[in-house]
Amino acid sequence: MAKKVVIVGGVAAGASAAARLRRLDEDTQIVMVERGEYISFANCGLPYYVGGVIERRESLLIQTPRSMFRRFNIDVRNNSEVEEIIPQNKEVVIRNNLDGNVYNENYDYLVLCPGASPIVPNIPGADQPNVFTVRNVPDSDRIKHYIEMYQPQHAVVIGGGFIGLEMAEMLYELNLRVSIVEAADQLLGSLDPEMAAIVHSYLRSRDFEIHLQAQALSMEGAERVEKITLASGKSIPADLVIMGVGVRPEVGLAAQAGLAIGSTGGIQVDDYLRTSDPSIYAAGDAIQVTDFVTGQATLIPLASPANRQGWLVANNICGRAMKYTGAQGTSIVKIMDLTAAVTGKNEKSLQKLGIPYKSVHGLP
């Protein structure tokens, strides 16, 4: 008898798991439930769509519900949300967000790929209409529409990580003045300070404002944000605000079902990406993984590990047992003519952990 797999989430890990399952087994019934309108989109390309580097919106969409059905015979239910898992019955409760219809769906295996949600600090004024996150296609649509409609002059990016700097560059290329507000003492915290200093110098030479060890205290304005006041008392003009302070794993559904949540706040899985319920697997930004440099539990919300995990989950469901040995996190960011890349741990984090290391310096 053919097995039935329900996948919660249809972006990186979920789409990868679904496609791999079909390649391994033509008979498995595969149901993919995605709360948003879009599945399998290139979230790493969102800033470049906002900035016009990616000209066609369709270029962001790797697969659509129609193409997933036609190519892989996968039952994609977008604009739908799993509201509850009933593990003892091997059922999920699904709500169609378009018509409100609620129904139960049974499964033999459940794969949780709910991803992560952007962190929005509790700052007065952060709910104004010109404050944006960058996590999905509708987010990028809203930013593009706002820029075209209101032609803002000064953007403030809260958070100096990879997504923050990519958005900062794209807004700069759209002729906005850009200020970056970062709570830490450097941008791109995974870089060594000496490398981050090169990034700081490069950005300042191109008239970016960088505020380090700074926190936004309030966002002020009548109908939309007009300025941001920092904890230092300094005010920054702002008619467009991007929140890029990171993401947190979506674990509400898993926790509600009684699945184990790890020390980092991600869904706890074993070496085969099984949760504490052997019929439920998890993959992607929502799970806790092992950093194979330190051996410690960590979160690595990146597309490449998510795709790999989804692929492995499919193998394990189909009896091709394969362990996930962990990740170390690798990121590359291009800021105009400068490229910065990092993999593994920097000196500061290794010193903090008491892990011996050797340092090699070189010049191009």
Q: Which residues of 256-280 are buried (b: 16+ CB within 10 A; e: fewer)?
A: ebebebbeeebbbbeebbbbbbeeb
> In which residue are the tokens 């097995």 written?
3
Annotation says 318 is catalytic: no
CA distances from residue 219 to 4, 208, 210, 237 in whole angstroms, order as listed: 49, 20, 18, 10
User: Residue type at 14?
Assistant: G
CA distances from residue 255 to 86, 95, 271 in whole angstroms, order as listed: 12, 19, 20
Contact 168, 51 (CB under 8 A): no
Q: Which of 93, 32, 94 is nearest to 64 (CA)?
A: 32
The bridge status of strand 109-112 relative to strand 4-8 is: parallel
Contact 49, 136 (CB under 8 A): no
Q: Which of 117, 197, 201, 210 is nearest to 159 (CA)?
A: 210
Tokens of 132: 């944006």
CA distances from residue 35 to 108, 235, 261 in whole angstroms, order as listed: 21, 38, 22
CA distances from residue 61 to 46, 56, 108, 121, 339 in whole angstroms, order as listed: 11, 10, 29, 30, 26
Helices (H), 151-300: 162-173, 193-205, 252-256
Q: Three-state DSSP class for 347?
A: helix
Tokens of 30: 């595969």
CA distance 45 to 67: 20
Contact 286, 113 (CB under 8 A): yes
DSSP conformational letter for 117:
E
Q: Which of 44, 184, 195, 297 is catalytic?
A: 44
- By annotation, the residues acting in catalysis are 44
